[in-house]
Amino acid sequence: METVVSGIRPTGNLHLGNYFGAIKNFIRMQEENNCYFFIADYHSLTTHPTPENLHGNVKQVLAEYLATGLDPEKATIYIQSDVPEVIELYLLLNMNAYLGELERVTSFKEKVRKQPENVNAGLLTYPTLMAADVIIHKAAKVPVGKDQEQNLEMMRTFARRFNRMYKEDYFPIPSAYNFGEALVKIPGLDGSGKMGKSEGEGNAIFLNDEPKVLQKKIMRAVTDAGPTEMDQEKPEAIENLFTLMKVVSTPDTLEHFDDLYNKCEIRYGDFKKQLAEDMLKFTTPFRERIRDIYSNTDYLRKVAAQGAEKARESASKTIKEVREIIGFRQF
Ligand code: TRP
Protein backbone atom coordinates (compact mmCIF):
# COMPACT_ATOMS: atom_id res chain seq x y z
CA MET A 1 0.00 0.00 0.00
CA GLU A 2 1.47 3.28 -1.07
CA THR A 3 0.61 6.62 0.42
CA VAL A 4 -0.88 8.94 -2.16
CA VAL A 5 -1.79 12.59 -1.63
CA SER A 6 -3.81 14.85 -3.85
CA GLY A 7 -5.17 18.35 -3.40
CA ILE A 8 -8.50 19.39 -4.81
CA ARG A 9 -9.12 22.98 -5.77
CA PRO A 10 -12.23 24.27 -3.99
CA THR A 11 -14.11 25.24 -7.09
CA GLY A 12 -17.44 23.51 -7.24
CA ASN A 13 -19.48 22.53 -10.29
CA LEU A 14 -17.65 19.52 -11.56
CA HIS A 15 -18.10 18.81 -15.24
CA LEU A 16 -17.88 15.64 -17.27
CA GLY A 17 -14.22 16.32 -18.03
CA ASN A 18 -13.37 16.48 -14.31
CA TYR A 19 -15.24 13.25 -13.74
CA PHE A 20 -13.50 11.23 -16.45
CA GLY A 21 -10.18 12.95 -15.81
CA ALA A 22 -9.43 13.22 -12.11
CA ILE A 23 -12.32 11.71 -10.21
CA LYS A 24 -12.57 8.28 -11.82
CA ASN A 25 -8.88 7.85 -11.09
CA PHE A 26 -9.28 8.94 -7.50
CA ILE A 27 -12.01 6.35 -7.12
CA ARG A 28 -9.73 3.66 -8.48
CA MET A 29 -6.75 4.86 -6.44
CA GLN A 30 -8.59 4.76 -3.13
CA GLU A 31 -9.15 1.02 -3.51
CA GLU A 32 -5.48 0.11 -3.54
CA ASN A 33 -3.65 2.85 -1.71
CA ASN A 34 -3.50 4.80 1.48
CA CYS A 35 -5.02 7.94 -0.05
CA TYR A 36 -5.27 11.42 1.37
CA PHE A 37 -7.56 13.72 -0.59
CA PHE A 38 -7.88 17.23 0.73
CA ILE A 39 -9.62 20.40 -0.31
CA ALA A 40 -6.91 23.00 -0.78
CA ASP A 41 -8.61 25.93 0.88
CA TYR A 42 -5.42 27.59 2.17
CA HIS A 43 -4.13 27.66 -1.41
CA SER A 44 -7.31 29.32 -2.58
CA LEU A 45 -6.67 32.38 -0.39
CA THR A 46 -4.20 33.61 -3.01
CA THR A 47 -7.24 34.86 -4.94
CA HIS A 48 -8.83 36.60 -1.91
CA PRO A 49 -12.30 34.99 -1.87
CA THR A 50 -14.99 36.40 0.40
CA PRO A 51 -15.67 34.28 3.50
CA GLU A 52 -19.07 33.31 2.10
CA ASN A 53 -17.64 32.23 -1.23
CA LEU A 54 -14.81 30.32 0.37
CA HIS A 55 -17.11 28.44 2.69
CA GLY A 56 -19.71 27.78 0.00
CA ASN A 57 -17.14 26.48 -2.47
CA VAL A 58 -15.57 24.12 0.03
CA LYS A 59 -18.97 22.71 0.91
CA GLN A 60 -19.99 22.34 -2.72
CA VAL A 61 -16.83 20.61 -3.82
CA LEU A 62 -16.86 18.26 -0.83
CA ALA A 63 -20.46 17.29 -1.59
CA GLU A 64 -19.61 16.74 -5.26
CA TYR A 65 -16.59 14.55 -4.64
CA LEU A 66 -18.51 12.44 -2.14
CA ALA A 67 -21.44 12.19 -4.55
CA THR A 68 -19.21 10.98 -7.37
CA GLY A 69 -17.62 8.23 -5.30
CA LEU A 70 -14.83 9.37 -3.02
CA ASP A 71 -15.33 7.18 0.01
CA PRO A 72 -14.43 8.45 3.49
CA GLU A 73 -14.18 4.85 4.68
CA LYS A 74 -11.50 4.09 2.10
CA ALA A 75 -9.60 7.36 1.80
CA THR A 76 -8.81 10.14 4.22
CA ILE A 77 -10.85 13.07 2.96
CA TYR A 78 -10.18 16.33 4.72
CA ILE A 79 -10.11 20.07 4.49
CA GLN A 80 -6.58 21.46 4.39
CA SER A 81 -7.24 24.24 6.92
CA ASP A 82 -8.39 21.64 9.47
CA VAL A 83 -4.80 20.43 9.61
CA PRO A 84 -2.67 23.37 10.81
CA GLU A 85 0.41 21.11 11.05
CA VAL A 86 0.70 21.67 7.29
CA ILE A 87 1.38 25.32 7.94
CA GLU A 88 4.23 24.61 10.29
CA LEU A 89 5.91 22.43 7.70
CA TYR A 90 5.22 25.11 5.09
CA LEU A 91 7.08 27.65 7.20
CA LEU A 92 10.01 25.33 7.72
CA LEU A 93 10.24 24.55 4.00
CA ASN A 94 10.06 28.24 3.15
CA MET A 95 13.27 28.83 5.10
CA ASN A 96 15.08 26.71 2.55
CA ALA A 97 13.22 27.77 -0.58
CA TYR A 98 14.99 30.37 -2.69
CA LEU A 99 13.46 33.39 -4.31
CA GLY A 100 15.11 32.59 -7.63
CA GLU A 101 13.71 29.09 -7.93
CA LEU A 102 10.23 30.17 -6.83
CA GLU A 103 10.21 33.03 -9.32
CA ARG A 104 11.12 30.66 -12.13
CA VAL A 105 7.99 28.52 -11.72
CA THR A 106 5.92 28.81 -14.89
CA SER A 107 2.55 29.07 -13.18
CA PHE A 108 3.90 31.88 -10.98
CA LYS A 109 5.24 33.77 -13.98
CA GLU A 110 1.89 33.36 -15.66
CA LYS A 111 0.08 34.79 -12.64
CA VAL A 112 2.46 37.75 -12.58
CA ARG A 113 1.66 38.43 -16.20
CA LYS A 114 -2.08 37.96 -15.83
CA GLN A 115 -2.66 39.69 -12.51
CA PRO A 116 0.18 42.14 -11.83
CA GLU A 117 -2.01 43.85 -9.23
CA ASN A 118 -2.07 40.77 -6.97
CA VAL A 119 1.35 39.14 -6.90
CA ASN A 120 1.31 38.06 -3.26
CA ALA A 121 3.74 35.95 -1.24
CA GLY A 122 1.20 33.12 -1.16
CA LEU A 123 1.43 32.82 -4.94
CA LEU A 124 5.21 32.84 -4.81
CA THR A 125 5.30 30.13 -2.14
CA TYR A 126 2.48 28.05 -3.62
CA PRO A 127 5.01 25.27 -4.40
CA THR A 128 6.29 25.07 -0.80
CA LEU A 129 2.73 24.76 0.50
CA MET A 130 2.11 22.01 -2.05
CA ALA A 131 5.25 20.24 -0.95
CA ALA A 132 4.15 20.50 2.68
CA ASP A 133 0.73 19.06 1.73
CA VAL A 134 2.35 15.98 0.31
CA ILE A 135 5.39 15.25 2.43
CA ILE A 136 3.52 15.87 5.70
CA HIS A 137 2.09 12.38 5.10
CA LYS A 138 5.43 11.08 3.82
CA ALA A 139 3.68 10.27 0.58
CA ALA A 140 5.30 8.25 -2.18
CA LYS A 141 2.96 9.26 -4.98
CA VAL A 142 1.07 12.29 -6.27
CA PRO A 143 -1.40 12.08 -9.15
CA VAL A 144 -0.55 15.07 -11.29
CA GLY A 145 -1.73 16.39 -14.59
CA LYS A 146 0.57 18.03 -17.12
CA ASP A 147 0.02 21.44 -15.55
CA GLN A 148 1.33 20.28 -12.17
CA GLU A 149 4.52 18.56 -13.27
CA GLN A 150 6.73 21.47 -12.33
CA ASN A 151 5.11 21.66 -8.90
CA LEU A 152 5.89 17.98 -8.39
CA GLU A 153 9.50 18.66 -9.36
CA MET A 154 9.60 21.39 -6.70
CA MET A 155 8.20 19.02 -4.06
CA ARG A 156 10.99 16.60 -4.86
CA THR A 157 13.55 19.39 -4.61
CA PHE A 158 12.33 20.54 -1.20
CA ALA A 159 12.10 17.01 0.20
CA ARG A 160 15.60 16.18 -1.03
CA ARG A 161 16.97 19.44 0.29
CA PHE A 162 15.59 18.76 3.75
CA ASN A 163 17.07 15.27 3.76
CA ARG A 164 20.43 16.53 2.61
CA MET A 165 20.51 19.42 5.05
CA TYR A 166 19.82 17.22 8.05
CA LYS A 167 21.75 14.23 6.70
CA GLU A 168 18.84 11.90 7.13
CA ASP A 169 16.64 10.01 4.66
CA TYR A 170 13.58 11.32 6.37
CA PHE A 171 11.14 12.30 3.63
CA PRO A 172 10.41 9.88 0.78
CA ILE A 173 10.87 11.67 -2.56
CA PRO A 174 7.38 11.73 -4.09
CA SER A 175 6.87 10.71 -7.69
CA ALA A 176 4.00 10.89 -10.15
CA TYR A 177 1.21 8.38 -9.75
CA ASN A 178 1.01 6.43 -12.96
CA PHE A 179 -2.39 5.47 -14.23
CA GLY A 180 -2.37 2.15 -15.99
CA GLU A 181 -4.37 3.26 -18.97
CA ALA A 182 -4.56 6.49 -20.88
CA LEU A 183 -7.02 9.02 -19.52
CA VAL A 184 -10.18 9.67 -21.47
CA LYS A 185 -10.10 13.20 -22.76
CA ILE A 186 -13.54 14.74 -22.82
CA PRO A 187 -14.12 17.32 -25.54
CA GLY A 188 -16.30 20.39 -25.10
CA LEU A 189 -19.43 21.40 -26.98
CA ASP A 190 -17.95 24.37 -28.81
CA GLY A 191 -16.33 22.36 -31.57
CA SER A 192 -12.76 22.48 -30.39
CA GLY A 193 -10.44 21.43 -27.61
CA LYS A 194 -11.42 20.02 -24.30
CA MET A 195 -14.24 20.49 -21.88
CA GLY A 196 -13.48 23.27 -19.45
CA LYS A 197 -15.16 25.85 -17.33
CA SER A 198 -13.12 28.72 -18.66
CA GLU A 199 -13.87 27.96 -22.29
CA GLY A 200 -17.12 29.87 -22.12
CA GLU A 201 -20.75 29.30 -21.17
CA GLY A 202 -22.24 26.25 -22.78
CA ASN A 203 -19.00 24.43 -23.49
CA ALA A 204 -19.11 22.21 -20.42
CA ILE A 205 -21.73 19.81 -19.10
CA PHE A 206 -21.84 20.00 -15.33
CA LEU A 207 -22.84 16.99 -13.28
CA ASN A 208 -25.45 19.12 -11.55
CA ASP A 209 -26.88 20.80 -14.66
CA GLU A 210 -30.66 20.92 -14.57
CA PRO A 211 -32.24 18.79 -17.35
CA LYS A 212 -33.47 21.81 -19.30
CA VAL A 213 -30.08 23.49 -19.18
CA LEU A 214 -28.30 20.31 -20.23
CA GLN A 215 -30.67 19.73 -23.14
CA LYS A 216 -30.27 23.30 -24.33
CA LYS A 217 -26.47 23.08 -24.22
CA ILE A 218 -26.42 19.93 -26.32
CA MET A 219 -28.96 21.19 -28.84
CA ARG A 220 -26.78 24.28 -29.27
CA ALA A 221 -23.51 22.37 -29.65
CA VAL A 222 -21.50 23.31 -32.72
CA THR A 223 -22.06 21.13 -35.82
CA ASP A 224 -21.76 21.71 -39.55
CA ALA A 225 -23.83 21.36 -42.72
CA GLY A 226 -23.53 17.57 -42.64
CA PRO A 227 -21.46 14.95 -44.46
CA THR A 228 -21.35 15.14 -48.24
CA GLU A 229 -19.38 12.01 -49.06
CA MET A 230 -19.85 8.42 -47.98
CA ASP A 231 -17.52 7.33 -45.15
CA GLN A 232 -15.86 10.69 -44.94
CA GLU A 233 -13.70 11.66 -42.01
CA LYS A 234 -15.56 13.61 -39.35
CA PRO A 235 -14.56 17.20 -38.70
CA GLU A 236 -13.48 17.96 -35.12
CA ALA A 237 -16.80 19.36 -33.86
CA ILE A 238 -18.69 16.26 -35.03
CA GLU A 239 -16.03 13.87 -33.80
CA ASN A 240 -16.32 15.55 -30.39
CA LEU A 241 -20.04 14.88 -30.16
CA PHE A 242 -19.47 11.24 -31.12
CA THR A 243 -16.85 11.01 -28.37
CA LEU A 244 -19.39 12.27 -25.87
CA MET A 245 -21.91 9.76 -27.15
CA LYS A 246 -19.37 6.99 -26.78
CA VAL A 247 -19.05 7.90 -23.12
CA VAL A 248 -22.74 8.02 -22.21
CA SER A 249 -24.66 5.95 -24.79
CA THR A 250 -24.80 2.24 -25.55
CA PRO A 251 -22.51 0.83 -28.27
CA ASP A 252 -25.62 0.10 -30.37
CA THR A 253 -26.74 3.70 -30.28
CA LEU A 254 -23.27 4.90 -31.19
CA GLU A 255 -23.06 2.48 -34.09
CA HIS A 256 -26.49 3.47 -35.32
CA PHE A 257 -25.56 7.15 -35.65
CA ASP A 258 -22.12 6.35 -36.97
CA ASP A 259 -23.75 4.34 -39.78
CA LEU A 260 -26.14 7.15 -40.55
CA TYR A 261 -23.21 9.57 -40.71
CA ASN A 262 -21.29 7.31 -43.04
CA LYS A 263 -24.29 7.01 -45.32
CA CYS A 264 -24.79 10.78 -45.25
CA GLU A 265 -28.23 10.25 -43.75
CA ILE A 266 -27.63 11.64 -40.29
CA ARG A 267 -29.91 14.34 -38.95
CA TYR A 268 -28.06 16.26 -36.29
CA GLY A 269 -31.31 17.18 -34.54
CA ASP A 270 -32.11 13.50 -33.89
CA PHE A 271 -28.51 12.75 -33.01
CA LYS A 272 -28.39 15.53 -30.43
CA LYS A 273 -31.75 14.58 -29.00
CA GLN A 274 -30.47 11.08 -28.36
CA LEU A 275 -27.20 12.40 -26.95
CA ALA A 276 -29.07 14.73 -24.59
CA GLU A 277 -31.33 11.92 -23.42
CA ASP A 278 -28.43 9.58 -22.69
CA MET A 279 -26.39 12.35 -21.11
CA LEU A 280 -29.26 13.12 -18.79
CA LYS A 281 -29.54 9.46 -17.86
CA PHE A 282 -25.86 9.54 -16.98
CA THR A 283 -25.83 12.76 -14.96
CA THR A 284 -29.16 12.43 -13.12
CA PRO A 285 -27.95 10.08 -10.35
CA PHE A 286 -24.99 12.42 -9.76
CA ARG A 287 -27.18 15.51 -9.67
CA GLU A 288 -29.52 13.90 -7.17
CA ARG A 289 -26.73 12.66 -4.93
CA ILE A 290 -24.98 16.03 -4.99
CA ARG A 291 -28.22 17.70 -3.93
CA ASP A 292 -28.88 15.20 -1.14
CA ILE A 293 -25.36 15.30 0.26
CA TYR A 294 -25.10 19.08 -0.02
CA SER A 295 -28.23 19.51 2.06
CA ASN A 296 -27.08 16.97 4.65
CA THR A 297 -24.88 19.27 6.71
CA ASP A 298 -24.64 16.77 9.57
CA TYR A 299 -23.13 14.20 7.25
CA LEU A 300 -20.68 16.69 5.74
CA ARG A 301 -19.61 17.81 9.19
CA LYS A 302 -19.04 14.20 10.21
CA VAL A 303 -16.99 13.40 7.12
CA ALA A 304 -14.84 16.50 7.60
CA ALA A 305 -14.29 15.78 11.29
CA GLN A 306 -13.35 12.17 10.67
CA GLY A 307 -10.98 13.17 7.87
CA ALA A 308 -9.37 15.90 9.94
CA GLU A 309 -8.76 13.50 12.78
CA LYS A 310 -7.08 10.92 10.56
CA ALA A 311 -5.03 13.52 8.68
CA ARG A 312 -3.87 15.22 11.88
CA GLU A 313 -2.77 11.92 13.31
CA SER A 314 -0.42 11.41 10.39
CA ALA A 315 0.60 15.08 10.17
CA SER A 316 1.36 15.57 13.85
CA LYS A 317 3.56 12.49 13.89
CA THR A 318 5.62 13.98 11.05
CA ILE A 319 5.80 17.40 12.67
CA LYS A 320 6.94 15.94 15.94
CA GLU A 321 9.77 14.10 14.21
CA VAL A 322 10.68 17.07 12.03
CA ARG A 323 10.92 19.37 15.06
CA GLU A 324 13.26 16.93 16.69
CA ILE A 325 15.40 16.66 13.54
CA ILE A 326 15.60 20.43 13.16
CA GLY A 327 16.62 20.97 16.75
CA PHE A 328 13.41 22.19 18.33
CA ARG A 329 14.02 19.99 21.33
CA GLN A 330 12.98 19.95 24.94
CA PHE A 331 15.47 20.82 27.64
N1 TRP B 1 -2.27 22.84 -7.15
C2 TRP B 1 -3.26 21.81 -7.30
C3 TRP B 1 -4.26 22.24 -8.38
O4 TRP B 1 -4.25 23.39 -8.77
C5 TRP B 1 -4.00 21.55 -6.01
C6 TRP B 1 -3.07 21.07 -4.95
C7 TRP B 1 -2.70 21.73 -3.82
C8 TRP B 1 -2.38 19.82 -4.94
N9 TRP B 1 -1.86 21.00 -3.09
C10 TRP B 1 -1.62 19.81 -3.74
C11 TRP B 1 -2.33 18.73 -5.81
C12 TRP B 1 -0.84 18.73 -3.41
C13 TRP B 1 -1.53 17.66 -5.49
C14 TRP B 1 -0.78 17.65 -4.29
O15 TRP B 1 -5.04 21.45 -8.83
Does 281 lie in the same domain as 144?
no
Mean per-residue pLDDT for 274-295?
Answer: 98
Statement to judge: residues 147 and 221 lie in one domain: no
Query: Percentage of residues in the chain with pLDDT exceeding 90?
Result: 91
Whether residue 182 has pLDDT greater than 70: no
pLDDT confidence of residue 22: 86
24, 119: one domain:
yes
- Tell me the pLDDT of the chain averaged across its residues: 95
For residue 146, name the pLDDT band (cuts at 50, 70, 90): confident
Q: What's 34's domain CATH number?
A: 3.40.50.620
**Protein residue closest via CA to atom 5 of ligand 1:** 7
Q: Are residues 67 and 13 in the same domain?
A: yes
| Domain assignment of residue 130, given as a range | 3-176+296-326
Q: What is the pLDDT of residues 203-234, one digit of tens each?
A: 999 999 999 999 999 999 999 999 999 999 99
Which amino acids are annotated catalytic? 111, 194, 197
Co-location of 168 and 314 in the same domain: yes
Model-level pTM?
Answer: 0.93
Task: Kindly tell me if the per-residue pLDDT of 307 is higher than 80.
Answer: yes
28 occurs within a structural domain: yes
Q: What is the mean pLDDT of residues 24-48?
A: 96
Residues 18 and 123 in one domain: yes
In a domain? residue 192: no
Residues 121 and 28 in one domain: yes
Number of domains making up the chain: 2
Q: Is 234 exposed, middle or buried (0-12, 13-18, 19+ CB in 10 A)?
A: middle
Do 154 and 278 reside in the same domain of the chain? no
pLDDT over 90 at 56, yes or no: yes
Overall average pLDDT of the 260-278 stretch? 98
CATH number at 254 reads 1.10.240.10
CB contact set of 288 (below 8 Å; sequence gap of 6+): none
What are the pocket residues of ligand 1 if the criterion is a CB atom closer than 6 Å to any ligand atom? 5-7, 9, 40, 43, 130, 133-134, 142, 148
Rounded Cα distance, 160 and 281, in Å: 49
